[in-house]
């Protein structure tokens, strides 16, 4: 084999194909169970049901009036439990219910966090605007 740069090597080989046997593809499907109809109905409506559940929980909490931190702690615990149990529950209505409850709790936890983050960003921007106005006022005075 040549080892200098730019050298080429030519290799000849032959491939022979033997007789190809016919392949059969067999797809086995379990007969639909009783919960399969409910599962098909819930698949497209999981997000809607999670939003409705979160809204119902928010309305209930507005009238009941517990501490915000207790509500947030409870929602985080329920979210962690639903995500943790998701891999242990077989496919079907149980898993669909866990996905819906977990989604609702994610909404309950996520919206206040996003609103809080928005308030923090607004406060920081307000402070920067005030500092900028003070800087401009001091600079014009000189």
Task: Please write the tens of the pLDDT for every residue from 52-95.
Answer: 989 888 888 888 878 878 888 888 999 999 999 988 888 778 88
Could you read off the pLDDT of 107-133 as tens digits, one per residue?
988 888 888 889 999 999 999 999 999
Separation between Cα atoms, residue 77 and residue 67, nearest integer Å: 16
Polymer length in residues for the chain:
142
Question: Do residues 112 and 72 touch, judged by C-beta distance below 8 A?
Answer: yes
Apex 94 CA angle, 111 and 34, nearest 5: 135
What's the predicted TM-score (pTM) here?
Answer: 0.60
């Amino acid at each position: 084999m040549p080892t200098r740069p730019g050298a080429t090597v030519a290799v000849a080989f032959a491939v022979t194909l033997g007789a190809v046997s016919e392949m059969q593809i067999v797809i086995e499907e379990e007969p639909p169970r009783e919960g399969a109809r409910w599962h098909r109905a819930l698949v497209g409506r999981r997000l809607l049901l999670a939003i409705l559940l979160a809204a119902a929980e928010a309305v209930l909490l507005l009238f009941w009036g517990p501490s915000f931190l207790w509500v947030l702690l409870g929602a985080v615990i329920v979210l962690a439990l639903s995500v943790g149990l998701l891999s242990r529950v077989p496919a079907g209505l149980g898993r669909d219910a866990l996905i819906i409850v977990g989604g609702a709790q994610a909404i309950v936890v996520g919206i206040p966090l996003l609103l809080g983050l928005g308030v923090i960003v607004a406060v920081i921007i307000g402070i920067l605007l005030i500092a900028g106005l003070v800087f401009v006022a001091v600079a014009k005075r000189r």
